[in-house]
Amino acid sequence: MTSNPFGRDITADDIIDTLSFFDGWEERYKYIIDLGKELPPMDEGKKDDAHLVRGCQSQVWIDTRLDAGRMWFETDSDAFIVKGLLAVVMAAYNGKPPVELLAFDIEDYFRRLDLLSHLSQTRGNGLRAMVKRIRSLAEEAAAGAA
């Protein structure tokens, strides 16, 4: 999972900066889809009900492990745009300690990207379901570390 460039080589600030260069949302969507292609492949054995995120229109799977106090995620989806959205979220969350992940203002991040206003309601709900699942995993990790 540490081969995942998101959170290390590609940060939330990088994505905010890059998206600001594009004039329209068609170009921004293409960039987000391209980000999704940079996610490392997820182990097929983890694409099961235990890792499935409920509340998403597409199938989304999330797994995590704690290594040296940092959370590393493995994610996938059956939809290109959703993989891109996962990459956007991973840029903000991957490789962070659970407490830092929980303190990150994801709503401000989405606002700075102007993302939610350009997603359908079902995609927006799915994005929130992904964030909710990740935050739940971080809460469990933080409680285990306490």
Q: Which domains does the chain have, with CATH numbers?
A: 12-145 (3.90.1010.10)
> Would you call 114 a catalytic residue per the annotation?
no
DSSP labels, 36-74: HHTSPPPPGGG-STTTBPTT-SS-EEEEEEEETTEEEEE
What pLDDT, in 10s, does the model give residues 51-79? 999 988 899 999 999 999 999 999 999 99
Q: How confident is the model at residue 21 (pLDDT cuts 50, 70, 90)?
A: very high
Catalytic residue among 56, 85, 88, 92: 56
What pLDDT, in 10s, does the model give residues 78-109? 999 999 999 999 999 999 999 999 999 999 99
Q: What is the pTM of this model?
A: 0.93
Q: What pLDDT score was predicted for residue 2?
A: 53
CA angle in degrees (0–180, nearest 5) for 75-40-43: 65
